[in-house]
Amino acid sequence: MTEPSPIPAAPPRYAYNFCAGPATLPRPVAERIREEFLAHAADGASVIEISHKGPRFSGILDTVETLFRRLCALPRNHHLFFMHGGARMQCSAVPLNLIGRSAARTAGYVETGLFAQQACREGARYGTVSTVAGSAATAFDRIPPVRARDCPEDAAFIHLTSNNTVYGTRWSDFPQDLPAPLVADATSDILSRRIDHTRFGVVYAGFQKNLGPSGMALVTVRDDLVGHALAGTPRLLDYAVQAETRSLDNTPNTFALFVLSLILEWVRDQGGLAAVERNNEVKAALLYGELDRSSFYRPTARPEYRSVTNIVFRLADESLTGEFLALAESEGLLGLAGHRTVGGVRASVYNGMPEDGVRALAGFLREFERLRG
């Protein structure tokens, strides 16, 4: 008697991941990773098995550097580094490398949310920091004006967070004519829109939103800001060492950089950052349009400061939040819970979120209001 053939498992349903990070990858990139993980080249070695000093990985790094510079119009006098520890490690690396430029070891910080505050606290470990502007008094619902007269005259740098994932605000334009170089934590909007890198001394971003696997950071540093590290700065956090070794003083996460190379190729194939930015604005407009349609949902950020990548809102009847999140998850809409410090709901629609996923969420918002409104 022959054994019956096993019933094949049903293919997994594709869910839409709205988590703030690690975030969803563009579907074509995920498929290329699967296809090329073992067969990226003809030498029989997986992409995670190759030497970071060998020609194959050098080719990946060349692709990353060339495409990022071209897509972002990164000036020739700005270095491009890839460093361990994500954006949180750069909260230490920035003051370690820059604050010594000020005789009094002074820096200014703009506090627009949780991660901006964390950066400020870390900066205070290495010198004197000044909060030059902030929006805590209004529950971080806006971006405050930053004026030169509010900045320390001898500041080594002024730090801001370009997009605030917890509270759903972002900078649409950036301060000018400040007395010190501008530093931006761009973790949650890197590659989602065009920015003018000539206005910044340093831009850094954790990989896990729009760049790939978590644990690494992309860092751009203007030439004149390299070589000022405080005595005792750990070697792997010294920008001069990164510049001298092309980010290869220690073995980098080769897989993360391989994924980044695929993401940059995907951005290029979409038509570049201008096209990606337009698509992100369309996705955000779909959700904000649904949220603003009635008083059932309440976006937390003031309209003129709303983030395009992190859409944060609450239900008018907050007792329904748990049911909302559970039902959304059952419908394949994942990662919608707001940050644990503020609660509510948050939809993160980074580059990898397709418009179909946003339309599915917009439809769910309307249906849940019909059921419970």
Q: Quick one: pLDDT band at residue 37, thresholds 50, 70, 90?
A: confident
Residue type for position 199: R
Domains held by the chain: number = 2
**Domain boundaries, position 71:** 30-269
Same domain? For 121 and 85 the reply is yes
Is 341 found in the same domain as 228? no
Q: Which two tokens stand for residue 310?
A: 């992190």
pLDDT digits (tens, 9 = 90+) for 226-264: 999 999 999 999 999 999 999 999 999 999 999 999 999
Residue 9 has pLDDT above 70, yes or no: no
Q: The tokens 């850094």 sit on which residue?
A: 204
The answer to whether residue 73 is domain-embedded is yes
* Most trustworthy range by pLDDT among 28-32, 36-40, 53-57: 28-32
CA 369 – CA 373 distance, rounded (Å):
5
Determine how many CB atoms are found less than 10 A away from the CB of residue 65.
17
Whether the CA torsion 275, 279, 281, 282 is positive or negative: it is positive
Handedness of CA 251, 255, 256, 262 (dihedral sign): positive
Is the same domain home to 347 and 247? no
Give the tens place of pLDDT for each residue, 292-341.
Answer: 999 999 999 999 999 999 999 999 999 999 999 999 999 999 999 999 99
Q: What percent of the chain has pLDDT over 70?
A: 97
220 lies in the same domain as 261: yes
Q: What is the pLDDT of residues 96-146, one digit of tens each?
A: 999 999 999 999 999 999 999 999 999 999 999 999 999 999 999 999 999
Q: Tell me what pLDDT residue 39 has.
A: 74
pTM score:
0.94
Same domain for 49 and 163, yes or no, is yes
Q: Which pLDDT score is estimated for 333?
A: 97
Spatial separation of the C-alpha atoms in residues 338 and 189, rounded to whole Å: 18
Angle between helices 254-270 and 273-291 (to 10 degrees): 80
**Are 258 and 305 members of one domain?**
no
- 312: in domain: yes
